[in-house]
Amino acid sequence: MMHWQFPGDTCESHCTDDDCWAVQPFSAFVTIFTAIGFFAYLLRSMYYGASLGQCLGIFGFGAFEFVHGLSHRYAHFEYFEYYQHTVFYFVIVGVFAALYEATGHMPKAKYWSTAFCATIVYDLWLVVNYKVTLYNIILVTVMFRLLIAGFLPHLDKLSQQRYDHLTAPHLTLLAVFINEGINCDRMIEWTSPEFPFHFLFESCSAVYFYYFVQFLMECRGKQNSKGKVGLKRFL
């Protein structure tokens, strides 16, 4: 897994024709489209009076998906994996801002700060020494879940239940991505070299990201359980 590199090793063939608009057109399309959707959602949320923390949360996901889409668009460009991995930290900052604003408290968990900081340091060490590998994808997932785990004790019961409903899809997506990184050649043998497996993963991830952002918009701290809920769903 240490030799796997993003985005060149994702399970979608590269389009090398001169008339191709993207190196990995299927994944590039769905991620850029998702980014546009998030930025549109951000503008709508600002219009309806979303808080700063909520807007930062939406912006983080939108920025990540936009750079992620460009990395599939220009998959042959060097250093794009670094840019994308850096932008992921925008997501961390946005989620932190939204949860801190909702709860009014810093993360509460024993040894939380040590574990969270150690994960960041190890992630950056891997990036510097090995570029972006599958281990980094696992680490950012751990980082993501550690961040939310620190705030969970401060969230009201309904918000905790909403997050619990997102746990299984999150872990399933991670397992699917790891399987893609390890068994891409086998999956291609079973189907076709042209079948865009990574496109399917990106599509499911976009749906998950949307519902996670909805969780950020609607979560409330225990002391605010009778207060105003964030933006309502508009699906």
- pLDDT of 230: 41
Asked if residue 33 is part of any domain, the answer here is yes
The total number of structural domains that make up the chain: 1
- pLDDT of 214: 94
- pLDDT of 228: 43
- pLDDT of 76: 59
Residue 39 has, within 13 A of its CA and on its CB side, a CA count of 12
Q: Which residue range is the domain that position 203 belongs to? A: 25-108+155-223
- pLDDT of 5: 56
Asked if residue 130 is part of any domain, the answer here is no
Cross-strand pairs, 155: 221
Asked if residue 68 is part of any domain, the answer here is yes
pLDDT beneath 70: ranges in the chain: 1-9, 75-79, 109-110, 223-235
Asked if residue 35 is part of any domain, the answer here is yes
Asked if residue 20 is part of any domain, the answer here is no
- pLDDT of 7: 59
Asked if residue 80 is part of any domain, the answer here is yes
Residues 6+ positions from 158 with CB-CB distance below 8 Å:
220, 225
pTM score, whole prediction: 0.86
Asked if residue 235 is part of any domain, the answer here is no
